[in-house]
Structure 1
Amino acid sequence: MKYKLEWKYKIKGSEKVQVSTEWVSGEVALQMGEELEKQGNITELFFYDEIGTSWILKELKKLVVEIEEDPHEMIVYFDGGFQKETNKAGLGAVVFFKQGKKKYRIRANESFDELESNNEAEYAALYYALNIIEDLGVQHIPCEFKGDSQGILKQLEGEWPCYEDVLNRWLDRIEEKIKALGIKPKFTVIPRKDNKEADKLATQALEGKEIFAKTLIL
């Protein structure tokens, strides 16, 4: 989680000036806050997280300790594959996140037998990825979703309409899950070449190769 600091600075012989920072890590935010409070000429120091919640210094100190071991800085890649001959879909997801000061990667896939098209497989793959991060206990953090399916990501951003009932039902499920988790999503369309790992996992699922691996990234 990243934070933005805002405070009012008292200039001698003048009115107070509103000051704010760029987004910084929790550790840096705490250090800056402690140093600012020592100066004695600032007031109304607040910390804002990426969800929009505000904190005072004492509250932020407690919060950072509490969430230190929770997953954060999460990036999710997803992709879906489909075989017309068998109506079988393969779902692939790659999840990067930090826990404490360590960084992890989860590679996972799953096969699905009740879909009708490659487009539907893309929606199912994103929903599958959401289930993975739910199992990690993720709540109320920003999360970036990256995929090469422009349609689903633009629809989730509200920029494109969806006219197919089947896909609209998937959109409803995805949006309900995001709301239930309380996460702040960011949707990023990437070239197919940058989504090779999730694509490979989806293909392996179609081949009957089930994978779920959590790896510490050094």
Structure 2
Amino acid sequence: MKYQIEMQYKITGNRKVLFTSDWLDAEMALLTGEQLEKSGKATDLSFIDEMNSSWSLKELRKLSAEIEEEPHDIKIYFDGGFNKDTSEAGLGAIIYYKQGKKNFRLRANELIEQMDTNNEAEYAALYFALNLLQDLGVHHLPVEIKGDSQVVLKQLEGEWPCFEDNLNRWLDRIEGKMKQLGIEPLYEALPRKENKEADRLATQALEGTIINSTIEIN
């Protein structure tokens, strides 16, 4: 989670000027806030997070201690593969996250049946990734969602209309899951070559190789 610091800064004549900082990670926001408080020049310190919630310095200390032990700084990569001969879809998802002082990567895939199109497979892959987040206990956090399907990302952002009933059902499922988890999505469309790992997982699922592994990374 990132934060902006808002404060009133005292200048000559006991006048005050409102300042807002750049976006800072929790550790830097806390360090900066504590130093500003010690200086005696800053008043009305508040910390605004990416979900537009406001925290005092004391509240942010407590919140950061709690979040540190839960998965946070979440990035999802997803991809779906489709076999039109069998109507099967391979779903691939990678989740990068921090917990404690460590970084982790979860890689997983799944094979599902009765799919109609590659676009439906892409939607199913993102829904699969969101279920993995739920299993991790992720809630009420911003989540970066990265994929190479312009259709999925643009329709989720509301920039492109969706006319297919089956895709609208997936849209409803995904938006419902995000609401349930309190997730604030940050979408990013990737060139296909930057999503190779998720694509490989989707292909492996279609080939019958199922993977679900989590490792610590540097």
- Answer whether TM exceeds 0.5 for this pair: yes
CA offset at residue 69 of structure 1?
1.1
Q: Deviations over 1:140-168 (max 9, x none)?
A: 11101111100110011110000000000
- For 2:100, give the aligned amino acid: G
Q: What one-letter code is carried by the residue in structure 1 that aligns with 2:98?
A: K
Aligned residue in 2 for 1:114: 114
SS at match of 2:58: helix
CA distance in 1, matches of 2:142, 2:194: 21
Displacement, 1:15?
2.7
Q: For residues 3 and 166 of structure 1, what CA distance do their matches in structure 2 show? A: 38
The separation in 1 between residues aligned to 2:59 and 2:189, in whole angstroms, is 36
Q: Which residue of 1 aligns with 2:182?
A: 182
Q: C-alpha distance in 1, partners of 2:140/2:16?
A: 33
Q: Does 1:36 align with 2:36?
A: yes
The aligned residue for residue 100 of structure 1 is 100
In the TM superposition, residue 138 of structure 1 has moved relative to its aligned partner by 0.4
| 1:25-60: CA deviation from partner (whole Å, max 9, x where unpaired) | 111111111111112122111011111110111111
Q: Name the SS for the 1:91 alignment partner.
A: strand
TM-score computed with the length of structure 1 as normaliser: 0.98
State the 4+ residue runs in structure 1 displaced beyond 2 angstroms.
none
One-letter identity of the residue aligned with 2:143? C
State the Cα deviation string for residues 108-136 of structure 1 (Å, max 9, x = none): 00000121111110000000000001110
Q: Percent of aligned positions with the same letter in both sequences?
A: 61
What does 1:52-201 correspond to in 2, within 5 Å? 52-201=52-201
Name the residue aligned to 2:51.
51
| Structure 1 CA distance for aligned equivalents of residues 79 and 51 of structure 2 | 27
| Aligned Cα root-mean-square deviation (Å) | 0.9
Which string of whole-angstrom CA distances, capped at 9 and with x for unpartnered residues, describes residues 43-95 of structure 1?
A: 11101111111011111111111111111111100000111111111000011
State the 1:14 CA deviation.
Answer: 5.8
Equivalent pairs counted in the alignment come to 218
Shift of 1:172: 0.4
TM (norm. structure 2) is 0.98
Corresponding residue SS for 1:9? strand
C-alpha distance in structure 1 between counterparts of 2:38 and 2:141, whole Å: 30
The runs of 5 or more residues in structure 1 that have no matched partner are none
Task: Name the SS for the 2:114 alignment partner.
Answer: coil
